């Protein structure tokens, strides 16, 4: 079964009303999930562009919907203390009735670290921190008291209640670097490669993941494969000027017919992908989710 999720980029200037409308439309259309990127600003000079916080958005969406799953695509492990991050996810799993994905990554947007006064270590260190953060989260979700002494993070006889509704609460790791894929092989329930990764690159990275799985004794097929796509559908226009445009320029969308969009998606399906997280042009999301499910999904 193929599942579709819609991605919101808060840093593009979305209001809560726009996000709520998208969530309700996605649920009505049969989308599986809504995702929010974890950012604090689009550019340092963008003093007039909204950027709502990811976990706050996800909580509000969970309360506004009944079936739609929610997740960060992906939360930066170093933006929050690992215990706080794990507890936030477990709490929202209760609020939502078990509809949370724990989407997490190593972090990358250096300007945000600088603006918020957070250390920005080299990539290798960030990946090692990510692994420790996931280990701590899983201990907090499953053990009465968690103890872990890592190189970067630790917990000491730590109680975290309540435990998540889901057992296990699914962990999705975003990114496709070789060291990060080793972390995914050991700890991820799903991986996401984004955005519009060329098919040959996607296949090669899956091969790396498979090798890591062999080395750590993990069943490669037990890890779900997800693809992040930028997709514009012909016949659906946003009619809305995106606030971020004056700071970054408009993303150059290539509009696709339903047949072209289906062929595009099928390329990833042939590689074993059965989960898609889609960014539609700003302001077109409510119409796009309905159009995709009606005109594209039946052709995939």
DSSP-assigned letters across all residues of 252-296: ---EE-HHHHHHHHHHHHTTT--EEEEEPPTT-HHHHHHHIIIII
pLDDT of residue 238: 77
State both tokens at 164.
Answer: 């998540």
Cα–Cα distance for residue pair 242/90, rounded to 1 Å: 33
Boundaries of domain holding 278: 3-299
pLDDT of residue 35: 98
Per-residue pLDDT of the chain (300 residues; tens, 9 = 90+): 999 999 999 999 999 999 999 999 999 999 999 999 999 999 999 999 999 999 999 999 999 999 999 999 999 999 999 999 999 999 999 999 999 999 999 999 999 999 999 999 999 999 999 999 999 999 999 999 999 999 999 999 999 999 999 999 999 999 999 999 999 999 999 999 999 999 999 999 999 999 999 999 999 999 999 999 999 999 898 778 889 988 887 666 889 999 999 999 999 999 999 999 999 999 999 999 999 999 999 999
Structural domains counted in the chain: 1
Give the angle 85-4-127 at the CA atoms, nearest 5°. Answer: 35
pLDDT of residue 250: 67
Q: What is the 3-state secondary structure (H, E, C) of 166-228?
A: CCCCCEEEECCCHHHHHHHHHHCCEEEECCCCCHHHHHHHHHHHHHHHHHHCCCHHHCEEEEE
Q: Specify the CATH number for the domain of residue 184.
A: 3.20.20.30
pLDDT of residue 249: 75
pLDDT of residue 248: 86
């Amino acid at each position: 079964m193929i599942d579709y999720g819609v991605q919101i980029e808060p840093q593009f200037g979305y209001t809560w009303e726009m996000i709520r409308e998208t969530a309700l439309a996605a649920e009505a259309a049969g989308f599986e999930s809504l995702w929010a990127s974890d950012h604090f600003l689009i550019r340092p000079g963008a003093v007039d562009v909204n950027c709502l916080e990811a976990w706050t958005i996800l909580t509000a969406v969970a309360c506004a919907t009944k079936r739609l799953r929610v997740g960060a695509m992906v939360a930066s492990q170093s933006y929050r203390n690992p215990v706080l991050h794990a507890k936030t996810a477990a709490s929202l799993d209760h609020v939502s009735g078990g509809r949370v994905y724990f989407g997490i990554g190593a972090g990358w947007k250096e300007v945000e670290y600088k603006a918020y006064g957070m250390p920005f270590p080299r990539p290798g260190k960030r990946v090692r921190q990510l692994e420790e953060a996931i280990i701590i989260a899983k201990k907090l979700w499953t053990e009465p008291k968690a103890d872990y002494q890592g190189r970067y993070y630790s917990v000491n006889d730590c109680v975290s209640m309540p435990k998540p509704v889901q057992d296990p609460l699914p962990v999705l790791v975003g990114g496709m670097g070789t060291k990060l894929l080793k972390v995914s092989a050991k700890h991820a329930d799903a991986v996401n490669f984004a955005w519009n990764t060329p098919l040959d690159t996607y296949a090669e990275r899956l091969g790396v993941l498979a090798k890591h799985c062999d080395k750590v004794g993990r069943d490669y097929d037990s890890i779900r494969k997800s693809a992040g796509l930028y997709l514009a559908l012909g016949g659906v226009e946003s009619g809305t000027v995106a606030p971020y445009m004056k700071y970054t320029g408009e993303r150059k969308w290539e509009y696709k017919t339903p047949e072209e969009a289906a062929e595009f998606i099928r390329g990833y399906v042939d590689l074993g992908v059965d989960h898609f997280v889609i960014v539609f042009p700003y302001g077109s999301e409510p119409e796009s989710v309905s159009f995709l499910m009606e005109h594209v999904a039946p052709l995939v």
